[in-house]
Amino acid sequence: MSDASPTRRSERALAVVAHRGFNISLVISGALLFGVLALGWKPRWLDWAELVLGLVMAAEGVLLATNWRGARKLAVGRLRRRHARRQARVSLRTRVLWRPASPALQLLGAAWIGAGALTAAPGPGRIL
């Protein structure tokens, strides 16, 4: 895996979208795990929120699972650079730990596609 920074504007934009989407999807996953979206609240905005959050999570899952235009590589590179800023030098242990990051993000992307679809699916039925 190369540590080269994205050079084209479209690659930089995709790196930002993939990285921010990753962070947002982590927050949504935490909310789903803790059952925040399934508390039995009835406000109409919650149906819209479930639909939008599910679609965002599924879209990020598609980016990571399919590696669309190298999004997974760009996200891993951005995560590695953020981690490397905190350390003076990169150790062998750190390099070995980052090696499975791309396949792990692919699996996480597939899980987010399913979780996003399950989150978004009830929304249209309740909205309409």
pLDDT digits (tens, 9 = 90+) for 78-90: 887 776 666 666 6
Q: How far is CA 109 from the centre of its chain?
A: 7
CA dihedral (11, 17, 20, 22) positive or negative: negative
Count of Cβ atoms closer than 10 Å to residue 56 Cβ: 18
Query: Hey, what are 90's tokens?
Result: 């990169």
In angstroms, the CA 101 to CA 19 distance is 13
Tokens found for residue 21: 């989407």
Q: Length of the chain, please? A: 128
How high is the pLDDT of residue 65?
92
Give residue-wise pLDDT tens across range 50-77.
888 889 999 989 988 998 888 888 888 8
pLDDT above 80: residue 43: no
The residue whose two tokens read 């927050």 is: 27
Determine the pLDDT at residue 86. Answer: 65
Most confident of 5-9, 81-85, 90-94, 114-118: 114-118
Question: Which of the 8 DSSP states describes residue 6?
Answer: P
Overall pTM > 0.75: no
Residues 6+ apart with CB under 8 A from 107: none
